[in-house]
A and B are shown apart, each in its own frame.
Chain A
Amino acid sequence: MGEIWQAAVVDSFNKFLEKVITFLPNLLAMLTILIVGFVIAWLVKRFVLRILNAVQFDRASQRWGLTHFLSKGSIRYSPALLLSRFLYWIIVLITFILGINALEVAAVQNLIAQFFNYLPHIFAAIIILVIGYLIAVFLGQATLIAAVNAQIGSARLLSRSVRWFIMILSFTMALYHLGIAEKVIVVAFSITFGGIVLALAIAFGWGGRELAKGFLERLYNRREKEEGPDRISHI
């Protein structure tokens, strides 16, 4: 009885030891990946920050309105620092995932594979959102200035409409890219903008026919009246 008990204990201890011996290199690999990953992340952060400072990224961000946008969200870091930190944490995240993957736990590996497959979509969505925002700010500002110089009273409304249209468009594109309710988004977007255009067409073409006519007549007459006497040569 005693021998059987001893054999069982020794056997299970051996199995445990075998598992530990098998697992130990994986653990060491994970630790190595984590250490190397953190060092690379730190180096990349420093390098990117230096490059961004050299190309005056903060000044360009100010010009694009990115600094203004960040300050609105109470973010006090400079865009260059923010971008370098973002890259740091991305590398840290990838390092963690690779580290966990090195442990070779089947269930976790599956999840990681799925995550890596999805990662490019997340990046693409972020890029779409950032570029969309920059274009929206740029065109919104250009519209505002052009409308003021053309003496359009509702310049700000026009500028905001342009800005929001582009931002909604880029947000929709980002969601579509992430594969979140693709069909719903496309349908919702089509219905919303189609509806707006149809409403405007009906309002101007039918309901507000007289109003539109009067508005255009007044605009034309005013222009004619105002432009007539101004003959300054600016140059």
Chain B
Amino acid sequence: MEQSLQTQLDGIKTADILVGIPSYNNVRTIGHVVRAVIAGLAKYFPKAKAVLVNSDGGSSDGTQEEVRRVQIDDFKTILTSHPVHPIHRIITPYHGIPGKGSAFRTIFEAATLLRAKACAVVDSDLRSITPEWMELLLRPVYDEGFDYVAPLYARHKFDGTITNSIVYPLTRALYGKRVRQPIGGDFGFSGELAKFYLSKAVWETDVARFGIDIWMTTLAITGGYQVCQSFMGAKLHDAKDPGSDLGPMFTQVVSSVYGLMEEYHPLWKDVKGSEPVPVFGFSYEVGLEPVQVNLERMIKNFRLGIKDLMEIWRRVLPSETALWLESIGRLSDEAFHFPQDLWVRLIYDFAIAYSQGSVHRDHLLKSMIPLYLGRVASFVRENMESSATEVEERIESLCKVFEEMKPYLTERWAKGKGGG
């Protein structure tokens, strides 16, 4: 830990609430996020001693200065009075592998040292955060005895495709809890859970990057902590090119999920079905920005995978699955359809291959990208005219297929470990 951070924390001694904001070159949006956090804490937790920690990855665009500068001059405008305790602001660089996970590590350290009762982390590129998010993420922990609050967002029907097609259904089928946004990015958690996270030696792995979100959710569930969800409304990010970092994002998230599967096999092997977790907040429909999708390019990438990567896939897939894939590759653009049960089978087969190490793990995960794009293309095509509710029903049906086919996973997993 940085000496200056240690000194600042020693000066503060203890805190009731800690809010962490990881950042890297977010000067355009972080001011709004900090204002929303300060307003939320003043409005909903006026008597609590609160600390705001900005864990920065070495921004060069004035992000840190912006966090220092932002003020709410007149609390009356947000229908509240000045908080009893001033909100302490700590701006600190983090160390280790560049990534969100390393930034969170510093936040967990601060929460543990300050013995914070309730903590929250929010992304620094949010455009849709409001003061109410503080109440929604912190209240279930602060007053209701929960340890982990996952967000529930209203998102565009084609947004969050890794979540909708892999992470949510797989996590739900494995651990039996319906946490709809397990990699949502904004979470609430207890100080005790922060201490538990900090005790794990994962900071040199993919968890230190994009894998931190699913790691936090999985550990909260498998550790037996009380988990709930809060409806946050729409989630809008600062604009960036989403396609540019698909490769590392995909491999880091999926490797974290598969890595956790390996670690927690004794906990998930006997879980059947799933159960909902408590939901807080007021659910409502939100008008969302339209999302444009290039289906042609996705299908082309899938076909290229069928043509060139089948040799690698055959090493991890049963022959009938490989044949099934090839038959899909021959379909025309108009008739293109990637069935749910084939997709589930692939996710399970790749998980087993990842665990067995039969193909170099990085190669295995990167070779999945054309398959993923094929599945996304099929999903988009099927739901082009569907409403958000209908799309949610389709995701629900995919989750059920994941749960129904879980015996396929457990049987093959056991055989694989037995050397079969």
Contacts and interface: CB of A to CB of B under 8 A. Distances in A.
B85 interface: no
Contacts of A183: none
B183 interface: yes
Contacts of B367: 145, 148
A1 B102 CA distance: 107
Count class of interface residues, chain B:
35 or more
A148 B307 CA distance: 9
Contacts of A229: 292-294
Contacts of B294: 226, 229-230
Interface string A28-67: 0000000000000000000000000000100110111000
Nearest to B304: A148
A148 B305 contact: yes
Question: Could you say which of A138, A147, A151 has the most chain B C-beta atoms within 10 Å of its C-beta?
Answer: A151
Contacts of B243: 227, 230, 232
B359 interface: yes
A100 interface: no
Contact of A234 (B160, B308, B358, B363): B160
A231 B292 contact: yes
Given A145-B366, A153-B304, A230 B237 contact: no
Interface in A165-200: none
A24 to B, nearest CB: 53
Interface string B307-332: 11100100100000000000000000
B308 A232 contact: no
Interface in B62-118: none
Nearest to A155: B308
Interface stretch (B128-136, B140-148, B223-231, B245-253): B245-253
Given A145-B366, A153-B304, A156-B308, A235 B358 contact: no
A141 B297 contact: no
Interface string A138-170: 100110111111010101100100000000000
A124 B312 CA distance: 31
A233 interface: yes
Interface residues of A, number: 30
A32 to B, nearest CB: 42
A142 B364 CA distance: 10
Contacts, number: 97
Interface string A199-235: 0000000000000000000000000001101111111
B48 interface: no
Contact of A232 (B159, B237, B357, B369): B159
B357 to A, nearest CB: 6
Interface string B231-275: 000000100011100110110010000000000000000000000
A148 B306 CA distance: 10
Contact of B358 (A63, A138, A226, A233): A63
A231 B294 CA distance: 8
A226 B297 contact: yes
A144 B357 contact: no
B40 interface: no
A59 B297 contact: no
Contacts of A141: 312, 360, 363
B363 A142 contact: yes
Given A232-B376, A235-B162, A235-B210, A145 B304 contact: no
Nearest to B306: A148
Contacts of A149: 247, 301, 366, 369-370
A178 B102 CA distance: 50
A20 B315 CA distance: 63
Given A141-B360, A233-B237, 4 more contacts: A63-B359, A145-B367, A149-B247, A151-B297
11 contacts: A60-B357, A62-B315, A63-B359, A64-B360, A144-B309, A148-B304, A230-B297, A232-B291, A233-B237, A234-B162, A235-B162
Interface of A: 56, 59-60, 62-64, 68, 138, 141-142, 144-149, 151, 153, 155-156, 159, 226-227, 229-235
Interface of B: 158-163, 183, 210, 237, 241-243, 246-247, 249-250, 253, 291-294, 297, 300-301, 304-305, 307-309, 312, 315, 356-360, 362-363, 366-367, 369-370, 376
